[in-house]
Amino acid sequence: MANAPLRLADHMDASRVVDLAATTKVAALEELVNAAATSPDVEDAEALLGAVRDRENLLSTGIGLGIAIPHARIAGVRSFVVAVGRHAGGLPFDSIDNKPVHIVVLIAGPQDAKKPYLELLAQISKRLKLEDVRQRILTAPSAQEVVDLLTQTA
């Protein structure tokens, strides 16, 4: 399995797509960690939240274009789990372009899985670079459609 290509679709589930009620970055991170924690692969949600907050305190994961990709790799996660949050009004996220964030994609992964993490990040970034995809994620009528939009290969 080490040589099998990592598929984003294998780590996403419609149950982990949420319309964020948060009004702050910290609250949004908590909502997404709670969504990720519904996966049996997340054994320690508290440790995950702490690691995500610590990472965010080092440098904002708001990458511009209304996107943030918070992430952490910890021992309390057995396999990659991706959770997606949408916020129509936008959240202050200390993004590099100083604009509000509308799409937040949380990546939780095993502590020793750096290369697969980078593969997953590349797949997500490639899809979110497309303005059409970002707009469709924000207006998608169902969580499954959000998953489909992110996991389609061009």
* pTM for the model: 0.94
**Residue ranges with strand state E in 46-116:** 62-64, 67-68, 71-74, 81-91, 101-110
Which pLDDT tens digit goes with each residue over 40-90? 999 999 999 999 999 999 999 999 999 999 999 999 999 999 999 999 999
Contacts of 153 (CB under 8 A, 6+ apart): none
pLDDT band at 147 (very low <50, low <70, confident <90, very high): very high
Three-state secondary-structure class, residue 6: coil
Fold type of domain 11-151: Mannitol-specific EII; Chain A (3.40.930)
Which pLDDT tens digit goes with each residue over 121-133? 999 999 999 999 9
pLDDT band at 6 (very low <50, low <70, confident <90, very high): confident
Tell me what pLDDT residue 1 has. Answer: 43
Active-site residues: which are they?
71
CA distance 131 to 118: 22
User: Domain segments of the chain: what residues?
Assistant: 11-151
For β-strands 62-64 and 67-68, DSSP reports them as antiparallel
Structure-block tokens of residue 100 = 């509000």
Tell me what pLDDT residue 154 has. Answer: 43
